[in-house]
Structure 1
Amino acid sequence: MEASPGPPRPQESSGRGTSTRSLMTPINLISRTSSSTSHSTSRPSVPPRPSTSTSQLSSTSYSGNRSATSLSQPSRQRRHTSTTSGRKSRATSSVWGSDSHEIICAVSEARGVSPTVGLAFINITTNEAVLSQICDSQFYVKTCHKIQMYEPSTILIINTACAPNAKSSLLSIIEEELPDTAIEPLDRKYWSENAGLEFIQSLAFREDLEAIKVAIEGNFYATCSFAAAIKFVELSCRVSILPHSLRVRYQPSEDTMMIDISTIHSLELIQNLQNAKSKDCLFGLLNETLTPMGSRMLRSNILQPSCQVDNTLMPRYDAVDELTVKEDMFFEIRKALKGFVDVEKLLTALVIVPHQSSIHTSAQTINNILGVKAFITAVPSLYEALGTARADLLTRIREICRPELTQPVANLIAAAINEDVTAMKTPLDMRNQRTYAVKSGVHGLLDVARQTYKEATEDVHRHLEDLSRDNDIAPELKFDTNRQYWIRLRQSDFEDRNIPDILINKVRKGVWIECQTLTLVQLNHRITDSHNEAIMLSDKVMQELLDAIRVHVPDLFRVCESIALLDMIAAFGQCTTTRDYVRPEIGNALALKGARHPICERANPERFVPNDVFANEQHRFQIITGCNMSGKSTYIRMISLLQVMAQVGCFVPAQYAAFSIIQQLFVRMSTDDSIEANMSTFSLEMREMAFILRNINEKSLTIIDELGRGTSTRDGLAIALAVSEALIQSSSLVWFATHFQQLAKVLGSRPGVLNLHLATETHDVDGDNLKMTMLYKISSGPVQEEHYGLNLARAIGFPERFIKVAEDVSVTLAENIERKKQTSQSRKLLRRRKLILNLHDTLLQLRESDMDDAALGSYLKRLQGEFVARMDEIESDGQIDREDAIKMEEED
């Protein structure tokens, strides 16, 4: 790749064409310029869209203190895609997990045999930036996985990679893997390492600058991508990020476990496959968090489990251990966490500068400051709750939450905001709090506006009393944002009389009549005007307060991140104490005693049967056989789920647990067709296995369930055998569940292979009825039961006449196979053995005989000729092709 990568400007693109997501939704402070000022006269008039998509921007002018900026539009035409093909919601696999998040991703690459890819993700909603540089393969597996984990709204790529005659393979793969994401080519000049370093210097927290510089040193492409992403946010998204207010972090790809999208869905890590709203998934099981920040951190950790033992996992284990022992501290922490709202979004709203001011943004500023006040007020209780903490992680969190960090902000707010004004949730309370937020005496006209507001509100109540007295009705005064004050009456009060004419805007809803009066409408206007005037007069004080608070935003973000981590750790503690989990050990082998499937256990706590698991260098490939419904899939799923839990930092459901660190997790379980992709079950199966075989190594954990059953028995067995050979050679940890008993026989003697099965008991009841008892217990060796499919069909009530026919067919097939064996290889082997044994007996007799040498020699010569002739006869009579032998083995 050329030495100076760079992004172009946004072009006309379908992108997420059906999306109407807006930055205004999570961050109301973000303001956008009007349509009249944001579009060039050379373009047709297009109504403004509340989205960060730049499909409408060809030549864009920006108001405020920014000079006019335009981004040149490339000639490449992006393909139009549809999002109606059943695409899963972002919540099923994304680290940030919400469709309301606006995430920009910039990608740059160094082309070569082993391409290096730089990635930069910016979440405008939560004010985060993640940089990463990956040494990838020609298939860009790690890059695509990383992008899929963050699921950006827009992907930026250098425009030279988009040329029709020289499109990069990375772009082609991204378009194939993420067909519904808007891809925007950007001019080369925006991809600059110097610009990226300048943005880091100016936007990152001051305290983090040195650490970030060390982390990104030598990561040229990640720095260039960061420059492009920031420039796109500033110019195309029409927002500004204040200096030293962006949370920037560098994330090496080798520090986390790679879990591909198919594995996430197969294991139900984030979402249940049958019911999207069900909590029967790993995230739903562990999500005992009490704050939105803690929930997001838990999601991120489940999708990207840590591989750092000393820096991450051990401190988390110690913290969970202490929380489960000190109940008083644990309950105090949980109680203190309930006082926090979504602080990440709140603080992000403080550092995103709007390009236009309005009543709405001024009102939202007051709301945000009141939210910060509530946040600052809640931190000391958490600090006190951690007073007895001794674990290193808990003491570090307590140190970050110390009063010295939050007290300056509390003092600033106390100097300008009334003490009794707090953040509220109902619309009327929020309006009242905004009106009286600033202390009295700051501005004379502000006090007048408040007095007008108060008098108009009192007039509303007096009007309601007069209305009740004069018309003999019982009105209820209600309030909402759109109608302001309105009246609600019962329809039953007017069954024998007419509704008074003074009531207007009448709407019948159920047993109620919703209405207003002309006087009430006029009073609403007076109240709104006085409220808006109070907001405008308060704005100067609020902006000054906001500027003072922004200096302390990095410290507040650190407190927020600490609270999120503590919330996740406390959630692990909650799961551990209520479900009897045990602390895992980290070593070189995977050993579980009395392990339980975490999700199935919650559904059936009394009936679930624990099992043992052991795998090391000598037993890396384990074949699991067993009857239908014996629990094979549950057993192997349990292993992978417990591995994820351990590398998240959570305790696991077992009597004893030890794990080795896994860097890649592969699961092939799904047997669903993909109608949208025009792929059958077997096609999907082969595509997933091809992906696994290309990327597996000795640091991988692989779970394979029923490989090859989507095609013919012969081909399925052949593919399963070939894949098994490759998996054995990869030296990864593999659990392979199958119904192919030949697979267990063929591979049983290979080094590193272990045969196991799920035990089942079968016995007759009253001589006629058959009963099968699934023990759900893992045992050594391959399954021994014959015809377990027929036995299960009989046990669940399949019609007996069909069972009888199936048994006859099975017996006939078995007899035919045995007959062929007797007339072929087996019979030939028996005849050979018999001939050799006869020769052995004859030679023993000759050794003891008194025959002279001449007679003995003549006899031995004749014996040799007879033996050779009879052996040739056996070979000629029993000659069978190799293909027939293989076929008989398969039919067996």
Structure 2
Amino acid sequence: MLRPESSPASLPVPGDSSLSVEVRPQVPRCSLGLQETPQSGPSAQAASVSSRPDTSGAAGDRSSSSSCPRAPSALPAQGSYCKSKRSYAENTFASDFTLGTSSSSARGSTCPQMVKTPLSAGNHQRSGYKSWTPQMEYSATSSSAVSAHSPSVVVAVVEGRGLARGEIGMASIDLKSPQIILSQFADNTTYAKVITKLKILSPLEIIMSNTACVVGNSTKLFTLITENFKNVNFTTIQRKYFNETKGLEYIEQLCTAEFSTVLMEVQSKYYCLAAVAALLKYIEFIQNSLYAPKSLKICFQGSEQTAMIDSSSAQNLELLINNQDSIARFLDTEQLLSVLVQIPKQDTVNAAESKITNLIYLKHTLELVDPLKITLKNCNTPLFRAYYGSLEDKRFGIILDKIKTVINDDARYMKGCLNMRTQKCYAVRSNINEFLDIARRTYTEIVDDIAGMISQLAEKYSLPLRTSFSSARGFFIQMTTDCTALFNDKLPSEFIKISKVKNSYSFTSTDLIKMNERCQESLREIYHMTYMIVCKLLSEIYEHIHCLYKLSDTVSMLDMLLSFAHACTLSDYVRPEFTDTLAIKQGWHPILEKISVEKPVANNTYITEGSNFVIITGPNMSGKSTYLKQIALCQIMAQIGSYVPAEYSSFRIAEQIFTRISTDDDIETNSSTFMKEMKEIAYILHNANDKSLILIDELGRGTNTEEGIGICYAVCEYLLSLKAFTLFATHFLELCHIDVLYPNVENMYFEVQHVKNTSRNKEAILYTYKLSKGLTEEKNYGLKAAEASSLPPSIVLDAKEITTQITRQILQNQRSTPEMERQRAVYHLATRLVQTARNSQLDPDSLRTYLSNLKRKYEADFPRAEQVSGKTEE
């Protein structure tokens, strides 16, 4: 019989027949293929500290002969693999843990408040150990115990020491998916890559070595992580568990055969191996279980050949909200696989129900493989042919055939808790287990009795009663509130637990409650016997189940490609080219197109190595910020393989994309608008290079005008020296004259039109959202806005006079010289010639014509220089 969730059980401890341990339901459950295995004291002895001098916290145990505990190749009988970990986990491992919290009481200190666990103080009640990692409960209504939107990633981070400082090793596991991601990369003193990667993972908990957070001497990495992840829980463990040797053994033992090539990638990457050793040891301790052999997908993700988008830019561009639904009727195969490979520690009702549900989900998923193959069969592209080949894996058919020998053909995934409950009850074919058939007949009779009882009550009281069902209440009675048969709008006294929701009453009766209890008892019997059959079936198909990893990857990639296909077929998108130039002809904002009633105004963009810095001016609401976001989104779309919203597009591959757009205050870090601006711009200056794309919107507006202009001018000069592609939107018109000193600066502005309002005898600004080359002709648009408001006319007039005087003085000091104009003309000619030599695909006649046009343009620039010279002499 299955035990209810609340029932404790005494489990025997191997090797000691006189000792038993009470296991309560609050003990963390195993998950993701975890499997409990007996451990003896000697096999669980702690590893010694490695002598490797450059391993931070990552101390390998090279001299120890012990290895990580190995799970048995075959599943043991029930009860034989469950034991207390008192001798191992509580006496040796629990005392090595320290929990960190970023509570307000700890924010003033150098590192978060560290709390010793009760276990380390001598309390050996495991239920007293507090973990931030969620206990994996088994849900009867979903394939995952953890909400799809709640954080479920645990990350271990370790840094090299001495000469290896800055070399980072990371290992992460999603509790909703049996997959471990390893990373190792070199970072600079800002640890930008670490912070960005952690932001992407959005971890529930971060694990680090206790040597990284010594009070008063914590490492810079630990300090930065705690500052940037104030709402994430930290756990520190002794550095001896960051053991690269153990990490490699873990990978050899647990990695499924399809992904075993990861061993070749990580054999010499000591830091990610050390991180995975600590991560898995910690998960084993928290979940009180071990992973089944060859059950995990383990992959390595480096930072090479990737474009880095920092967390602020991702938030500014709204990149973090995503749709993870797979194609059509496919369920989440990763969560499905996660539950199928795990071995529950107790045979509870919920665990049984979850297994049955997920086996039905698996059958439903595998039945969709053939329709997907038919869809891909006639595709000729190599990518789709590769996906078609992965779907031809014979193991899909083997698993489905074995399932169909036990599971009814009409058992399938259905919406509605009562429908799914019925599917689970009758999932197993008849005549496989006589007692199961009897139990199901009993259940059917009880359900029929409930329906008959409610019909009798309806006849007895002449009320339009109907039978309803919910997972929380079971069967209950409902009736509309507008029933005329009610006497004084009161229900009969036989009905209890009455509630009114909108236009209906919900209630039950004493007899119905008893019938529900009988129904639940019958269900427990059914689930228990079905669970035994399902477990036997899973043991037969377990060796083939890893093909679902390929199915998960295939469905996810097809889902993404389907989104790309929709984008380019339903909209006028164009395939981008990749050169050393950023050129977009008539491009528009892809999101604005979807939410706007009218099609967005299209604009051109042209940035080259010779003109790599664009200053954009224009009034408020003229479209500057939207234009910057448009450029960033188009760049990202091109680099992920999507078509781009434009008539023509060419992009230079960006190694990093930086934006400085948001202007909100940050109350949590006590940062004003200006301070937040300075932090973000400092981050950009420290990490940008010549292959970066930088977009800055209205820098310096959080302080006074003089200081704002000074800061902007200095930042512009620094970015100009980097040769990065930069778009700089500003209200400081004085910055536009920097092109006198730097010929690679281009000035652009957003046009506006003035419309006369005859009724009020005032001018109104009409925004065209068109980008044009040159300096904005719109002067003092702030004064015009003030004039349109209710400010007294005398104040507006004084403001105009003062502004005119200041502008005149500034312009006198910023006039161009003839020599500067000549140098600018030569510079632009030279850069265009270099660009032509690199990228030209023109035929000889067309090339000759283009070069002639360049010559005429160059010659036309000299009369302008002479005109400047004449004005200067006057």
TM, length-normalised to structure 1: 0.74
Which residue identity is paired with 1:352?
Answer: Q
Shift of 1:230: 1.3
Q: Helix, strand or coil for the counterpart of 1:591? A: strand
Q: Aligned to 1:458, which of 448, 467, 476?
A: 448
2:650 paired with 1:647:
no
Structure-2 change in CA distance of 1:825 and 1:81 (3 Å): closer
Which residue identity is paired with 2:736?
Answer: A
Q: Aligned to 2:546, which of 541, 554, 559?
A: 554
Shift of 1:764: 4.9
Shift of 1:793: 4.5
2:486 paired with 1:494:
yes
2:611 paired with 1:619:
yes
Match of 1:268 in 2: 318
Match of 1:425 in 2: 415
Match of 1:786 in 2: 779
Q: Aligned to 1:81, which of 86, 94, 103?
A: 103
Q: What's the CA shift string for 1:19-62, capped at 9, x where partnerless?
A: xxxxxxxxxx9x99969999xx9xxx999487999xxxxxx999
Q: Aligned to 1:338, which of 321, 328, 333?
A: 328
Match of 2:282 in 1: 232
Match of 2:625 in 1: 633
Q: Aligned equivalents of 1:47 and 1:550: distance in 2?
A: 27
Q: Aligned equivalents of 2:430 and 2:486: distance in 1?
A: 47
Q: Aligned equivalents of 1:602 and 1:821: distance in 2?
A: 44
Q: Aligned equivalents of 1:644 and 1:412: distance in 2?
A: 45
Q: What's the CA shift string for 1:756-797, capped at 9, x where partnerless?
A: 222233465669432433332222222233323333455xx4
Structure-2 change in CA distance of 1:75 and 1:165 (3 Å): farther
Q: Please list, as runs of the form range in 1=range in 2, the aligned pairs for 1:545-624 lying within 5 A after superposition.
A: 545-604=537-596, 606-624=598-616
Q: Helix, strand or coil for the counterpart of 1:702? A: strand
Contact 2:369–2:391, Cα closer than 8 Å, also in 1:
yes
Q: Aligned to 1:656, which of 626, 648, 652?
A: 648
Contact 1:128–1:247, Cα closer than 8 Å, also in 2:
yes
Q: Aligned equivalents of 1:569 and 1:595: distance in 2?
A: 22
Contact 2:30–2:342, Cα closer than 8 Å, also in 1:
no
Q: Please list, as runs of the form range in 1=range in 2, the aligned pairs for 1:80-99 lying within 5 A after superposition.
A: 80-81=102-103, 99=149
Q: Please list, as runs of the form range in 1=range in 2, the aligned pairs for 1:676-687 lying within 5 A after superposition.
A: 676-687=668-679
Contact 1:126–1:345, Cα closer than 8 Å, also in 2:
yes
Shift of 1:103: 1.0
Shift of 1:502: 3.8
Shift of 1:530: 1.9
Shift of 1:467: 2.6
Q: Aligned equivalents of 1:475 and 1:395: distance in 2?
A: 57
Contact 1:665–1:702, Cα closer than 8 Å, also in 2:
yes
Which residue identity is paired with 1:373?
Answer: K
Which residue identity is paired with 1:105?
Answer: V
2:722 paired with 1:730:
yes
Q: Aligned equivalents of 1:747 and 1:611: distance in 2?
A: 22
Q: Helix, strand or coil for the counterpart of 2:304? A: helix
Q: Aligned equivalents of 1:816 and 1:640: distance in 2?
A: 36
Contact 1:760–1:776, Cα closer than 8 Å, also in 2:
yes
Structure-2 change in CA distance of 1:825 and 1:587 (3 Å): closer
Structure-2 change in CA distance of 1:779 and 1:518 (3 Å): closer
Contact 2:254–2:294, Cα closer than 8 Å, also in 1:
yes
Q: Aligned equivalents of 1:255 and 1:747: distance in 2?
A: 34
2:522 paired with 1:530:
yes
Q: Helix, strand or coil for the counterpart of 1:357? A: coil
Q: Aligned to 1:483, which of 468, 473, 476?
A: 473
Structure-2 change in CA distance of 1:821 and 1:674 (3 Å): closer
Q: Aligned equivalents of 1:64 and 1:718: distance in 2?
A: 70
Q: Helix, strand or coil for the counterpart of 1:180? A: coil
Q: Aligned equivalents of 2:404 and 2:697: distance in 1?
A: 62
Q: What's the CA shift string for 1:536-567, capped at 9, x where partnerless?
A: 12222110111223222221121121111101
Contact 1:464–1:475, Cα closer than 8 Å, also in 2:
yes
Shift of 1:64: 4.6
Contact 1:32–1:354, Cα closer than 8 Å, also in 2:
no
Structure-2 change in CA distance of 1:33 and 1:117 (3 Å): farther
TM, length-normalised to structure 2: 0.76
Match of 1:143 in 2: 194
Consecutive unaligned residues in structure 2, runs of 5 or more: 13-18, 32-40, 45-78, 108-145, 818-874
Q: What's the CA shift string for 1:311-334, capped at 9, x where partnerless?
A: xxxxxxxxxxxxxxxxxxxxxxxx
Contact 2:29–2:345, Cα closer than 8 Å, also in 1:
no
Q: Helix, strand or coil for the counterpart of 1:399? A: helix
Which residue identity is paired with 1:483?
Answer: R
Q: Aligned equivalents of 1:163 and 1:486: distance in 2?
A: 59
Match of 1:521 in 2: 513
Structure-2 change in CA distance of 1:72 and 1:498 (3 Å): closer
Which residue identity is paired with 1:774?
Answer: Y
Contact 1:195–1:227, Cα closer than 8 Å, also in 2:
yes
Q: What's the CA shift string for 1:393-452, capped at 9, x where partnerless?
A: 222112112262410111010111122222223222222222222222222222221221
Q: Aligned equivalents of 2:289 and 2:568: distance in 1?
A: 44
Match of 2:697 in 1: 705
Q: What's the CA shift string for 1:313-363, capped at 9, x where partnerless?
A: xxxxxxxxxxxxxxxxxxxxxxxx322122221111011222111121111
Which residue identity is paired with 2:188?
Answer: S
Would you say how many aligned residue pairs link Structure 1 and Structure 2? 712
Structure-2 change in CA distance of 1:461 and 1:625 (3 Å): closer
Q: Helix, strand or coil for the counterpart of 1:352? A: coil
Match of 1:199 in 2: 250
Q: Helix, strand or coil for the counterpart of 1:264? A: helix
Structure-2 change in CA distance of 1:254 and 1:472 (3 Å): same
Shift of 1:673: 1.5
Q: What's the CA shift string for 1:496-555, capped at 9, x where partnerless?
A: 586444434444444433233333333322222222112212222110111223222221
2:152 paired with 1:102:
yes
Contact 1:63–1:356, Cα closer than 8 Å, also in 2:
no
Contact 1:477–1:487, Cα closer than 8 Å, also in 2:
yes
Match of 1:155 in 2: 206
2:736 paired with 1:744:
yes
Q: Aligned equivalents of 1:77 and 1:111: distance in 2?
A: 23
- Supply the RMSD in Å over aligned alpha carbons: 3.4
Contact 2:11–2:82, Cα closer than 8 Å, also in 1:
no
Q: Using the aligned pairs only, state the percent identity.
A: 31
Once structures 1 and 2 are overlaid, which stretch shifts more, 779-788 or 592-601?
779-788
Contact 1:34–1:48, Cα closer than 8 Å, also in 2:
no
Shift of 1:597: 1.2
Structure-2 change in CA distance of 1:367 and 1:52 (3 Å): closer
Structure-2 change in CA distance of 1:803 and 1:120 (3 Å): farther
Q: Please list, as runs of the form range in 1=range in 2, the aligned pairs for 1:794-833 lying within 5 A after superposition.
A: 794=787, 797-799=788-790, 802=792, 805-815=795-805, 818=808
Q: Aligned to 2:366, which of 351, 357, 376?
A: 376
Q: Aligned equivalents of 2:443 and 2:250: distance in 1?
A: 46
Consecutive unaligned residues in structure 1, runs of 5 or more: 1-28, 54-59, 86-95, 272-282, 295-336, 830-892
Which residue identity is paired with 2:237?
Answer: L
Q: What's the CA shift string for 1:608-641, capped at 9, x where partnerless?
A: 2111111111111111122333222222221111
Match of 1:860 in 2: none
Which residue identity is paired with 2:253?
Answer: S
Shift of 1:702: 0.5
Q: Helix, strand or coil for the counterpart of 1:581? A: coil
Which residue identity is paired with 1:464?
Answer: I
Which residue identity is paired with 2:363?
Answer: K
Shift of 1:111: 2.1
In terms of fraction of residues, the more helix-rich structure is: 1
Contact 2:399–2:545, Cα closer than 8 Å, also in 1:
no
Structure-2 change in CA distance of 1:46 and 1:454 (3 Å): closer
Q: Aligned to 2:532, which of 533, 540, 558?
A: 540
Match of 1:350 in 2: 340
Q: Aligned equivalents of 1:145 and 1:84: distance in 2?
A: 24
Q: Aligned equivalents of 1:559 and 1:419: distance in 2?
A: 22
Match of 1:673 in 2: 665
Which residue identity is paired with 2:176?
Answer: T
